[in-house]
Amino acid sequence: MSLTDYFKTIPDIAYEGPESDNPFAYKYYNPAEKILGKSMEAWLRYAVCYWHTFRGTGADPFGGATLCRPWEDGTDSVDMAVKRADVVFDFINKLGLKFYCFHDRDVAPEGDTVTQTNKNLWTVAKRFKKNQKATGIDLLWGTANMFSHPRFAQGASTTPNADVYAYCANSVKEMLDVTLELGGQNYVFWGGREGYMSLLNTDIGRELDHLAKFLHMAVDYAKKIGFKGQFLIEPKPCEPTKHQYDFDAQTVIGFLRGAKLHKHFKLNIETNHATLAGHEFVHELEVARVNGMLGSVDANRGDLMNGWDTDQFPNDVKECTHAMLSIIKNKGLGQGGLNFDAKVRRDSTDMEDFFHAHIGGIDVYARALRIAAKVIEDGKLDGMVTDRYSSWDAGVGKDVEKGKHDLVSLQKYILKKGTAAPNQSGKQELFENVFNSYF
Amino acid sequence: MSLTDYFKTIPDIAYEGPESDNPFAYKYYNPAEKILGKSMEAWLRYAVCYWHTFRGTGADPFGGATLCRPWEDGTDSVDMAVKRADVVFDFINKLGLKFYCFHDRDVAPEGDTVTQTNKNLWTVAKRFKKNQKATGIDLLWGTANMFSHPRFAQGASTTPNADVYAYCANSVKEMLDVTLELGGQNYVFWGGREGYMSLLNTDIGRELDHLAKFLHMAVDYAKKIGFKGQFLIEPKPCEPTKHQYDFDAQTVIGFLRGAKLHKHFKLNIETNHATLAGHEFVHELEVARVNGMLGSVDANRGDLMNGWDTDQFPNDVKECTHAMLSIIKNKGLGQGGLNFDAKVRRDSTDMEDFFHAHIGGIDVYARALRIAAKVIEDGKLDGMVTDRYSSWDAGVGKDVEKGKHDLVSLQKYILKKGTAAPNQSGKQELFENVFNSYF
Amino acid sequence: MSLTDYFKTIPDIAYEGPESDNPFAYKYYNPAEKILGKSMEAWLRYAVCYWHTFRGTGADPFGGATLCRPWEDGTDSVDMAVKRADVVFDFINKLGLKFYCFHDRDVAPEGDTVTQTNKNLWTVAKRFKKNQKATGIDLLWGTANMFSHPRFAQGASTTPNADVYAYCANSVKEMLDVTLELGGQNYVFWGGREGYMSLLNTDIGRELDHLAKFLHMAVDYAKKIGFKGQFLIEPKPCEPTKHQYDFDAQTVIGFLRGAKLHKHFKLNIETNHATLAGHEFVHELEVARVNGMLGSVDANRGDLMNGWDTDQFPNDVKECTHAMLSIIKNKGLGQGGLNFDAKVRRDSTDMEDFFHAHIGGIDVYARALRIAAKVIEDGKLDGMVTDRYSSWDAGVGKDVEKGKHDLVSLQKYILKKGTAAPNQSGKQELFENVFNSYF
Amino acid sequence: MSLTDYFKTIPDIAYEGPESDNPFAYKYYNPAEKILGKSMEAWLRYAVCYWHTFRGTGADPFGGATLCRPWEDGTDSVDMAVKRADVVFDFINKLGLKFYCFHDRDVAPEGDTVTQTNKNLWTVAKRFKKNQKATGIDLLWGTANMFSHPRFAQGASTTPNADVYAYCANSVKEMLDVTLELGGQNYVFWGGREGYMSLLNTDIGRELDHLAKFLHMAVDYAKKIGFKGQFLIEPKPCEPTKHQYDFDAQTVIGFLRGAKLHKHFKLNIETNHATLAGHEFVHELEVARVNGMLGSVDANRGDLMNGWDTDQFPNDVKECTHAMLSIIKNKGLGQGGLNFDAKVRRDSTDMEDFFHAHIGGIDVYARALRIAAKVIEDGKLDGMVTDRYSSWDAGVGKDVEKGKHDLVSLQKYILKKGTAAPNQSGKQELFENVFNSYF
């Protein structure tokens, strides 16, 4: 089924196996295939993102738009928005995926008044609902763009301008309503302007209080309207602000705990944001996981030699396998998924390129899932880890874990023993060799 | 009064004012002078640190010891430790300071057994007590070195070896006892090995649970023995481990909240650790402050072009003024202070050099205090900040702060208004110019 | 004299001395005042840059334009370009400065054909010539923007598209002609797209050959038309490309030497580009200086906690004093100058803000010049450096410098001596304290 | 053949193929197997490095030695040095490798006088010669350690102390003699202390002149004694100094060109040094290659989340494949090779661990060679690159390459054409997908 003709020259992307050299086929992603008792599709829950893929122009801070799409008429009108909605669903369909996700401003333009802006959004949402029914494609999550318009330049819910705060309340309320209407499974906050450019002119205590209040209002409103989606916060250390409040997973978790919001939120971890914060991607996943807050993933990659958000499509199988190991330990992402918050390079100007980009990203994670499953089924690495901690499974270690010790009793134990048993080797290189053997 | 003769060629370091060009005098630090109603000494509470200043050798990963001190006999004996204790107090006296701080292993060598190790520590502690009485110098804080010995290579309270955990219990118990005995005002945890080298061989969930348990035991023991000092945690992102659990202020705060330990701890913020984590020093201070957890400061600096802990003496008046503004807003550091966790460069081989280093560091913060006080007394910058947030002092902003709004009522407000009032200029450059005018 | 009315509410910016608290006055910049035998104006040769200051919109990768200027009519027409030219000269006049600098595309829009594009440029250039005469303001340098238009997305003189290379030849030829016509004193190359996004699709050997050829053509053409201005290359490590060929000063010098171009070029060092490359600003200046290639400076600053080009106005007096020490050792910048390649923050939306920004930047360098002059006049630091190297002023050191030694004779010397004389202390902390005493 | 008994429990490491799960076997390295017409052994020329592998103790800046080897007697005597030489050759033999490399101070202790130091070196060198004959193992390169001893704290050939310079002359002369005697194929300079800690106390112009003179003396002496080995310089940006003069490949090339030394030197590129300088490893290889100066490789890896030299064993097949592609384009490394300048983690305390580490590193590069060969044999990626530059193979592009154009003629061409032909897509994502398909 096809809503438009724009991709008629592109074949439906299907699984052909690792030997295929067809650039328009999956070599690893076989949606229905069972891995560890669940279909690949169910593990991976890929989503196409509206912003980069359908609103990205290739502009960067030093140059203008390079990407011209044949369906665009050069306007940011509601008509164009509705037409574009059909193209998007066709694209997702071509890829054989099941989810999309968007910000309010990706899909519908602002109007002259807030009232008109809201109306524009609902016009497009209506088309989405129709297209969802027609295609079986679902909404992974919705969110409000509270960072692009100049009014947000100094913050959204952390703005010094109380009117802007009220404006944001309207945005989130409407997008919660829209997300509910479209059966969206999550609602995301990314605080692109929630931070500061200079501490000299910023009252961070006051701003953080406003942020906490705002999130509470969103939680309360969701409850009121019966929205059962998962709330997610997406950490990022900086850019566009000098310093964002949601620096990394631990920062967000700490903030949520302090604001008594932690039961209502999980985290949406992005690869490129992790590395900008000085953490490996898997570190952020693990931090979220061990705190019970791993919710969803922005599947992209950064360039570790560059200090900004390059938002490239994932292509490092090893990094993604690390990630999938964490996700499998988390028993999957629940209502969350893997959305491609990634953009083709600005000189990848062919329409085919955004197929190549998605196919590559999809296959890298699919391959990573296969490898991670093998690692887990083998049990070799897990066994080595268990051995490494075996002193905690008996004797004094076990007693500590059971809460039977204090400093005095532990001192007594070690004084009697005279000194500590020597450490076993950490064997990091062997761990690395074994891990490498799965690739 | 002098316990030894080693510094007889160095004059007592005294205040001579900004016009002095005597390298062995303070140009800004005048201990008794009142600034904002409190003596400089009371604001700054400088401490000499034992490790770098008296146990540092100038060795680095690519070369050996360069610093030879005339009082050292080349041994790590208890006798040498006792003798060194006298030199340390003489040094602090020369500088006219009132505090020192140390790790157990800085001051006393390990013995063949834990029992002997503890005994060695108490032998030196006895000398400290005597010297404290003789000089009026107090202990700012104590801590246990649980990172240098090979037994800690894989962690202290996050070790896979339960015996090492018990060993650490002894270390902390003894150092709490010693700190109590010496009237120490704080007790610090810096988890140099509490982190991981590789996630492949690490169970971070289990390790973090052990860490939480350990800190609870320390809190319980302190209560039991009547230790009233403040517990402090010192964040650092990495080094020596690839990734330390106590990455930065927010990470530690979040962890403490999750472990229900936050009422018992404050933070000890180090300049160089802040910047290694991707934060300005003042950011970390502000994060701690607005969370009510700013406790003490490791006054040093890093090299922003280098990716490791250079632990240089502070010398950027502007950075330190930012810091003092935060500290003054915090009404000072309470029981905490500014300790010089800083080392002379390895080619600064003269004995005079560590005087120059301390004099420089002391004067930079003293100057910063003077400037920060002027900024605050003038009120110009604070006034500009208050103006910037004025929309929160009345109308809808005030009502939001009072909890009178929800998403629906805010939407109603903004729909009625049609759009948000425009933002005032953030005026960052003017803020910067005004701030610069104080230097 | 005023060409337009746009700044009539802003006073002429004049020197009022350090005690002034007038935000629209210089506290340190007194153009005619003599410092080290030369006027401040002659040392500093400030230039206003056209692009950020008059074409910047406040847009960033996550949000749109925030800066609205009253003279803009919303078009990119030639008429608007001519009108804008008057405003620019008024602005420079208000500040009491003597130079401006621009890219072709800052000042005149592209036409439908190359011919039209060239014509547009000359139309505006004519107005510049008139305004220069009327105001006495001169052109510090000209350059061609070969990075913004999509045609340059894959490189300018390093493009895989030979037509684009020819296009660039036209751009540089025209801008050399224009620069000559306007009496411009330098011509700058900044290779924003001369680099790569991925090594997988790049033939760097071939691209570098094309670049060398291109620069030779420019040199040859300049000779042909009698252009006596200095050619400059501006290093930058990355952004917009993943990796620019002109990474840093040493890279450029090495490239120029390899291409036999080094006699024809000097460097234009930018503060923010230096730190992005992992160097202090003064390091880059010194590298250029000791290689006889320090030509001009982009006076801005970066944010060392952020990994992209923030292009902020300079405001660190210490960093700028380091810079001025290097520039004074270089006997000034010759035909070069200090241009403010810096932009107001996007939330600094008042027209006054770009005055504050320039006044701040001008005063910071003026203050730095004053301090650097004092450091040099005192001679204390230079004397300490000379002492440190004194072993090279006599004996074996002097002989080595004179070329009287080889490995064998030096071995003989040291074998006879048995071992090397011990090092003097490097006394870095004393150097730092002495340097700090000038602020 | 075995010189000692220390490794008798370890099997000879042999090729068993990818299916093997024997941790003491190669899965990819099959020395005699031909790849692209040359044996794997000839392509890879692996060398064991003496320093990390046989003199590393596991100490780091925050903790002491963790690695105890059974053959060590706790002394740094000449006897121990001779004994150790046998163990080293046994180790290399066990791995089936053909090369080793060392610094003077790795293999023989300093004596009380320079004369004695030289004598110690020759005593061990004699044993090396014997062991080389007995085992067929050769010396890849020699070098002098001019960074560890305190005398080098302020520089070696860039020292302010002329005596130290003379001392270094002796070191290099002796090591050139030793390298010649042992048939060493290269001689390496790594300037660990050739840089600065502070620009305030440093005369970089004078220091760089001394460095250039020193290298000329080495070149002259080599000629005199008939040493035919390749001179190599190993770039590193910083650590232990704040800033090393040999920052990266381009810096070194530029310096060598300026000093007229470029015909005598090639580069020894280290993975971890590349990334510390802000470059991908393959970037540094390519820069060296296209300048005709790729000589040898320090095969290790860094941790991109950490800002210091972690010197880990290579384990990223993709990074190494990129590297091998460059090396193959270079037609191999000539007299150079791949030495494992890498150390086991300090908690990898078993003797087996350094076998695991080397086996892992050897296999990663062997696998990379196999993949790179396949990429090259397929020709698909190279063909895509050639296509991308096709506009340079005919018409105006070809004429430019032939030197037939200048700015005027190119302008004429483009004016006539009216505008440039549009760019082809750069197709980076397709390139990445194709590259990924080889793994």
Q: How far is CA B161 from CA A396, A398, B197, B243, B264, in A?
A: 10, 11, 16, 19, 27
| Inter-chain touch B348–C437, beta carbons under 8 Å | no
Q: Pinpoint the alpha helices (H) of B259-388.
A: 271-276, 281-290, 317-329, 351-378, 380-388
Closest CA–CA distance from residue D121 to any residue of chain A (Å): 33
pLDDT in tens, A26-57: 999 999 999 999 999 999 999 999 999 999 99
Structural domain ending residue among the three candidates B378, B398, B417: B378
Q: What domain count does chain B have?
A: 2
pLDDT in tens, D11-29: 999 999 999 999 999 999 9
Residue D242 lies in a domain: yes
Q: What distance in Å separates the CA atoms of residue D32 and residue B260, rounded to the nearest whole number?
A: 62
Per-residue b or e along C262-281, where b marks 16 or more CB atoms closer than 10 Å to that residue's CB: bebbbbbbbbbbbbbbbbbb
Return the structure tokens found at C317: 């007096």
- Compute the Cα dihedral for D343, D344, D347, D351 and give only its sign: negative
- Which of D438, D322, D431, D324 lies closest to D386 in space, CA to CA? D431
Return the structure tokens found at B107: 């001051």
Does residue A131 share a domain with residue A238? yes
Q: What distance in Å separates the CA atoms of residue D143 and residue B406, rounded to the nearest whole number?
A: 72
pLDDT over 90 at B378, yes or no = yes
Question: Which of C63, C65, C307 has its CB closest to that of A308?
Answer: C307
pLDDT over 90 at C407, yes or no = yes
Q: Is C329 in the D-facing interface, judged by CB distances under 8 Å?
A: no
Does residue D333 share a domain with residue D276? yes
Residue C135 lies in a domain: yes
pLDDT in tens, A77-91: 999 999 999 999 999
Structural domain ending residue among the three candidates A355, A378, A401: A378
Give the pLDDT confidence score for residue A218 in this predicted structure.
98
Does residue C388 share a domain with residue C374? no
Give the pLDDT confidence score for residue D104 in this predicted structure.
98
- Phi, then psi, of D100 in degrees rounded to 5: -135, 170
What is the number of residues in chain B? 439
Does residue A431 share a domain with residue A360? no
Chain C residue with Cα closest to D158? C389
Give the pLDDT confidence score for residue B139 in this predicted structure.
98
Contact D124, D78 (CB under 8 A): yes
Q: What distance in Å separates the CA atoms of residue D252 and residue D267, rounded to the nearest whole number?
A: 8
pLDDT in tens, D215-243: 999 999 999 999 999 999 999 999 999 99
Give the pLDDT confidence score for residue B29 in this predicted structure.
98
| Inter-chain touch A150–C345, beta carbons under 8 Å | no
DSSP per-residue codes, C293-314: -EEEEE--B--TTSBS---BPP
Q: What distance in Å separates the CA atoms of residue A21 and residue D437, rounded to the nearest whole number?
A: 8
Chains touching B (3+ CB pairs < 8 Å)? A, C, D
Asked, as a colleague might, if the bond just before A240 is cis with ω within 30 of 0, I would say yes
The Cβ of residue C192 has, within 10 Å, a number of other Cβ atoms equal to 22
pLDDT over 80 at B327, yes or no = yes
Q: Which amino acid is at D118?
A: N
- Phi, then psi, of D188 in degrees rounded to 5: -110, 140
Q: How far is CA B297 from CA B71, B144, C109, in A?
A: 30, 18, 55
Determine whether A378 is an active site residue: no
User: Can you give the CATH number for the domain in which B240 is found?
Assistant: 3.20.20.150
Percent of chain A's residues with pLDDT above 90 = 100
Q: In angstroms, how far is CA D58 from the centroid of its own chain?
A: 22
Give the pLDDT confidence score for residue A325 in this predicted structure.
98
pTM comes to: 0.98
What angle, rounded to 10 degrees, do the helices at B380-388 and B428-436 form? 170
Chains touching A (3+ CB pairs < 8 Å)? B, C, D
Q: Is A255 in the B-facing interface, judged by CB distances under 8 Å?
A: yes
Only one residue has tokens 């909890």, namely B403
Catalytic one of C103, C210, C273, C322: C103
Does residue A160 share a domain with residue A262? yes
Does residue C397 share a domain with residue C257? no
Give the pLDDT confidence score for residue C155 in this predicted structure.
98
The Cβ of residue A70 has, within 10 Å, a number of other Cβ atoms equal to 9
The Cβ of residue D83 has, within 10 Å, a number of other Cβ atoms equal to 16
Which helix (H) or strand (E) segment is D39 a member of?
strand D38-39
Q: What distance in Å separates the CA atoms of residue C267 and residue C289, rounded to the nearest whole number?
A: 9
Give the pLDDT confidence score for residue B336 in this predicted structure.
98
pLDDT in tens, A242-292: 999 999 999 999 999 999 999 999 999 999 999 999 999 999 999 999 999
Residue A215 lies in a domain: yes
Q: Which residues of A touch C63 (CB under 8 A)?
A: 147-150, 152-153, 192-193, 240
| Inter-chain touch A242–C65, beta carbons under 8 Å | no
Only one residue has tokens 């400088």, namely B46
pLDDT in tens, A363-408: 999 999 999 999 999 999 999 999 999 999 999 999 999 999 999 9
Percent of chain C's residues with pLDDT above 90 = 100
Return the structure tokens found at B416: 């009625």
Chain B residue with Cα closest to C429? B357
Residue B8 lies in a domain: no
Q: What distance in Å separates the CA atoms of residue C305 and residue B280, rounded to the nearest whole number?
A: 7
Chain B residue with Cα closest to A398? B162
DSSP state of C189: E
Which pLDDT band holds residue A18 (cuts at 50, 70, 90)? very high
Q: Which residues of B touch C28 (CB under 8 A)?
A: none
Q: How far is CA A42 from CA A188, A322, A360, in A?
A: 21, 19, 19
Mean pLDDT of C226-233: 98
Q: What distance in Å separates the CA atoms of residue D66 and residue D71, rounded to the nearest whole number?
A: 15
Does residue C29 share a domain with residue C109? yes
pLDDT over 90 at A137, yes or no = yes
Give the pLDDT confidence score for residue D414 in this predicted structure.
98
Chains touching D (3+ CB pairs < 8 Å)? A, B, C
Closest CA–CA distance from residue D374 to any residue of chain A (Å): 15
Task: Give the range of the structural domain holding residue D406, as residue numbers without chain letter.
Answer: 382-436
How many inter-chain contacts (A to B, CB under 8 Å) are there? 293
Q: What distance in Å separates the CA atoms of residue C284 and residue C297, rounded to the nearest whole number?
A: 10
Give the pLDDT confidence score for residue D38 in this predicted structure.
98
Q: What distance in Å separates the CA atoms of residue C96 and residue C12, rounded to the nearest whole number?
A: 8
How many inter-chain contacts (A to D, CB under 8 Å) are there? 115
pLDDT over 80 at D1, yes or no = no
Q: How far is CA D233 from CA C290, D155, D169, D263, in A?
A: 21, 16, 17, 13
| Inter-chain touch D415–C150, beta carbons under 8 Å | no
pLDDT over 80 at D420, yes or no = yes
Q: Is D429 in the A-facing interface, judged by CB distances under 8 Å?
A: yes
pLDDT in tens, B1-54: 699 999 999 999 999 999 999 999 999 999 999 999 999 999 999 999 999 999
Map residue C48 onto helix, strand or coil: strand
Does residue C85 share a domain with residue C128? yes
Return the structure tokens found at B439: 């230097």
Give the pLDDT confidence score for residue D306 in this predicted structure.
98
Which pLDDT band holds residue A197 (cuts at 50, 70, 90)? very high
Q: What is the mean pLDDT of chain D?
A: 98
Question: Which of C61, C65, C303 has its CB closest to that of A242?
Answer: C303
Does residue B308 share a domain with residue B425? no
Q: In angstroms, how far is CA C291 from the centroid of its own chain?
A: 17
Determine whether D103 is an active site residue: yes
Give the pLDDT confidence score for residue C376 in this predicted structure.
98
Map residue A354 onto helix, strand or coil: helix
Q: Is A28 in the D-facing interface, judged by CB distances under 8 Å?
A: no
Which pLDDT band holds residue D4 (cuts at 50, 70, 90)? very high
Structural domain ending residue among the three candidates A359, A378, A397: A378
Write down the ipTM of this complex. Answer: 0.96
pLDDT over 90 at C105, yes or no = yes
Instruction: Tell me which residues of chain B, numbers 101 to 130, contact chain A at a CB-CB cutoff of 8 Å.
Output: 113-115
Mean pLDDT of A58-83: 97
Give the pLDDT confidence score for residue D194 in this predicted structure.
98
Contact B357, B310 (CB under 8 A): no
**Beta-sheet pairing, A294-298 with A338-339:** parallel
Residue C206 lies in a domain: yes
Map residue A247 onto helix, strand or coil: coil
Q: What distance in Å separates the CA atoms of residue D83 and residue D3, rounded to the nearest whole number?
A: 10
Contact A354, A344 (CB under 8 A): yes
Question: Which of C349, C356, C429 has its CB closest to that of B423?
Answer: C349
Does residue D418 share a domain with residue D311? no
Q: Which residues of C touch A62 (CB under 8 A)?
A: 147-148, 192-193, 239-240
Residue D5 lies in a domain: no
pLDDT in tens, C257-295: 999 999 999 999 999 999 999 999 999 999 999 999 999
pLDDT in tens, D42-89: 999 999 999 999 999 999 999 999 999 999 999 999 999 999 999 999
Q: Which residues of A touch D433 (CB under 8 A)?
A: 23, 315, 356, 359-360, 363
pLDDT over 80 at C29, yes or no = yes
| Inter-chain touch D318–A318, beta carbons under 8 Å | yes
Q: Which residues of A touch B397 (CB under 8 A)?
A: 162, 165
Chain D residue with Cα closest to C383? D201
Return the structure tokens found at D185: 């194929």
Does residue A405 share a domain with residue A388? yes
Angle B292-B298-B303 from CA coordinates, rounded to 5°? 120
Catalytic one of A52, A90, A103, A246: A103
Instruction: Tell me which residues of chain A, numbers 367 to 386, contact chain B at a CB-CB cutoff of 8 Å.
Output: 381, 384-385
Q: What distance in Å separates the CA atoms of residue A425 and residue D68, rounded to the nearest whole number?
A: 12
Q: Which residues of C touch A305 (CB under 8 A)?
A: 238, 242-243
Map residue B76 onto helix, strand or coil: coil
Report chain D's terminal Cα–Cα distance, integer Å.
37
**Beta-sheet pairing, B265-270 with B294-298:** parallel
Which pLDDT band holds residue B296 (cuts at 50, 70, 90)? very high
Residue B2 lies in a domain: no
* C52, C55, C62, C301, best to mutate vs chain A, most A CBs in 10 Å: C62
Q: What distance in Å separates the CA atoms of residue B435 and residue B372, rounded to the nearest whole number?
A: 10
Does residue C156 share a domain with residue C130? yes
Map residue C64 onto helix, strand or coil: coil
Chain D residue with Cα closest to C166? D410
Q: How far is CA D396 from CA A434, B382, C164, in A?
A: 54, 64, 11
Residue D65 lies in a domain: yes
Map residue C205 onto helix, strand or coil: helix
- Which of C204, B86, B430 lies closest to D279 in space, CA to CA? C204
pLDDT over 80 at C1, yes or no = no
Return the structure tokens found at B399: 């009502």
Q: What distance in Å separates the CA atoms of residue C323 and residue C282, rounded to the nearest whole number?
A: 5
Catalytic one of A104, A106, A248, A298: A106
Q: Is C389 in the D-facing interface, judged by CB distances under 8 Å?
A: yes
pLDDT in tens, D347-403: 999 999 999 999 999 999 999 999 999 999 999 999 999 999 999 999 999 999 999
Q: What distance in Å separates the CA atoms of residue C36 and residue C17, rounded to the nearest whole number?
A: 19
The Cβ of residue A6 has, within 10 Å, a number of other Cβ atoms equal to 17
